[in-house]
Amino acid sequence: VPVANTGPVTQASQSDARFMRPVSGTIIRSYKKGSNEGVDIGAPEGAAVSAADVGTVAAITEDTKGVAIVVIKHADGLLTVYTNVDNLLVKKGDAVTRGQEIAKVRAGTPSFLHFEVRKGLESVDPDDYI
């Protein structure tokens, strides 16, 4: 019996990655140091946003438009940053587990999650970690 091609297998590569992808979707805007300090992952409004790894919520703030920004501190001096989210399920100081839902993707045209990985204050290409 022929096996249906269901597309590329991503589970194996994700388990080896330092961080898991925080939302299912396609990268609609790539990392470019100085102009886009993370990646934008296209995802439907209301899609679950997950913590990329175990850590502690270091900060919750807002951008100039009042959109929530969640920062999670991880081992090795790494931070992950999630924005363009709403319906937050965490608060500052919360411990989170890898894959724990922390928020929902905010409505927009298009709707997407902006995701950053930082070493200290320096942004790094999230593709190297997910």
In a domain, 77, yes or no: yes
Q: Is residue 1 part of a domain?
A: no
pLDDT at 17: 87
CATH number where 77 lies = 2.70.70.10
Q: Is residue 6 in a domain?
A: no
Confidence of residue 129 (pLDDT cuts 50, 70, 90): very high
pLDDT at 15: 54
Please give the tally of structural domains in the chain: 1
Q: What is the pLDDT of residue 13?
A: 40
Tokens of 103: 């928020």
Residue 71 lies in a domain: yes
Q: Which long-range contacts (CB under 8 A, 24 or more apart) does 30-36 make?
A: 30/127, 31/123, 31/125, 31/126, 31/127, 33/123
Determine, yes or no, domain membership for 95: yes
pLDDT of residue 120: 87
| Residue, of 2 and 54, whose pLDDT is higher | 54
Q: Is residue 85 part of a domain?
A: yes
The answer to whether the pTM exceeds 0.75 is: yes
Give the Cα separation of 81 and 72 in Å (integer). 7
For residue 3, is it within any domain? no
For 31, the domain range is 11-128
